Amino acid sequence: MTRVAEAPPAPPDPSIKSGIEDKLRSIIMTTRDLPAMPQVAAKVLELSSDPDTSAQKLQQVIADDQAMTARILKIANSAMYSCSRRIKTLTEAIVMLGFNSIRSLVVTSAARNLYNTHSSRTGLKERLLWEHSIGAAFACRILAEAHAPKYTEEAFLAGLLHDIGKLVLNQKAPREFDEIVQVVYNQNRTFHKTERIILGFDHAQVGGLLISKWKLASILEEVICNHHDPAILQDENPLHAILDLGNKICHKMGIGFVEDPDFDLVGCPANNRFQLQAEDFETIMELVRTTLETEMEIFV
């Protein structure tokens, strides 16, 4: 879908009943309806935040989840981490990659499970959401490695999870989310503005609540909750600009729902911090494209 100049917002669809609006608002007003972090993943996150935790303790917990174990080993051996030798065991992965990277892989595994519910509603929307999330994660990681290396893992997770609120809306309010998707496609509008018109809130706010419920870093909650607020780009935290650029790189490349090939990455406000040139973005986009082609299968 090619993005064109956005038309003035249309009034809310009068067919949306007040009772449905109340149900939708409850998603953002409470956390009861938000997905819980899987038990094993929650325990791993807790242990990995403890400086006294050993690699053996982490290995024992992760090993209880065979699917997570397999995914972590696949990703640990991918080009994304470029280890000098093949990693064969969880303990090796933990020692070689470090606790921060293991946290990222555990959250990636937990997030992937949300996108793959094996229900009748798992289809094109979920695939496009997941592909965009992975593409943004790769783009953010590449940007952070070059310009803010100490934020590399946080940048990856910010890209991975920035649109997870859309998934929550798709699961908890499927009819209304379908309407939003139709408006975005047929009227060339942005998701967050359409959501605010129809729901009164947007996926970024829902995503921020989920990050809080999952007890991930407060810096991730802040970045995800505000990733459509242009004023936040003035913040000293480089993750805001990295996520904004990573998201827009995917839009320019057509990864996900939105395709905007003419978008000016060089002149966008997020690039004021990094001053990247057109050739820099071409290099990044080629890296994202190559990484998606070679690594995507290990994330599905």
Residues 95 and 243 in one domain: no
More confident residue, 116 or 211: 211
> Does residue 64 register a pLDDT over 70?
yes
Residues 81 and 199 in one domain: no
Residues 132 and 69 in one domain: no
Residue span of the structural domain in which 147 resides: 1-30+121-300
| Residue % of the chain over a pLDDT of 70 | 87
Question: What is the 8-class DSSP label of residue 276?
Answer: -
Structure tokens at 221: 């909650």
Residues 186 and 257 in one domain: yes
Distance in angstroms (rounded) separating the CA atoms of residues 104 and 121: 27
Domain count, the chain: 2
Can you tell me the mean pLDDT for 106-119?
Answer: 73
The CATH number given to whatever domain includes residue 4 is 1.10.3210.10
Average pLDDT, the chain: 84
Conformation bin of residue 243: beta by default, left when phi > 0, alpha when psi is -120 to 50: alpha
Q: Which residue has the tokens 């030798």?
A: 85
Question: What is the 8-class DSSP label of residue 122?
Answer: -
- Burial degree of 245 (CB within 10 A; 0-12, 13-18, 19+): buried
Residues 49 and 85 in one domain: yes
- Final residue before a domain boundary, out of 66, 92, 115: 115
Residues 100 and 219 in one domain: no
Q: What would the pLDDT profile of 162-179 be if each residue is shown by its tens digit?
A: 999 998 898 888 889 999
Q: What would the pLDDT profile of 231-289 be if each residue is shown by its tens digit?
A: 888 888 899 999 999 999 999 999 988 889 999 999 999 999 999 999 999 999 999 99
Can you tell me the mean pLDDT for 92-117?
Answer: 82
Residues 18 and 165 in one domain: yes
Collect all residues with Cβ–Cβ distance below 8 Å to 101 and sequence separation of at least 6: 76, 81, 153
Residues 25 and 40 in one domain: no
Residues 17 and 85 in one domain: no
Residues 22 and 148 in one domain: yes
- Final residue before a domain boundary, out of 115, 143, 165: 115
Residues 45 and 139 in one domain: no
Residues 158 and 290 in one domain: yes
255-277 burial, b for 16+ CB within 10 Å, e for fewer? Answer: bbbbbbeebebeeeebbebbebe
Distance in angstroms (rounded) separating the CA atoms of residues 200 and 212: 20
Among 181, 183, 162, smallest CA distance to 6 is for 183
> Does residue 61 register a pLDDT over 50?
yes
- Final residue before a domain boundary, out of 67, 92, 115: 115
Q: Which residue has the tokens 């397999």?
A: 70
Distance in angstroms (rounded) separating the CA atoms of residues 205 and 208: 5
pTM: 0.84
CA dihedral 189, 192, 196, 197 (to 10 degrees): 10
pLDDT recorded at residue 21: 57
Q: Taking the CA atoms of 104, 157, 133 and 61 in sequence, report the sign of the dihedral they define.
A: positive
Q: Please list the residues that pair with 2 across neighbouring strands.
A: 259
- Burial degree of 117 (CB within 10 A; 0-12, 13-18, 19+): middle
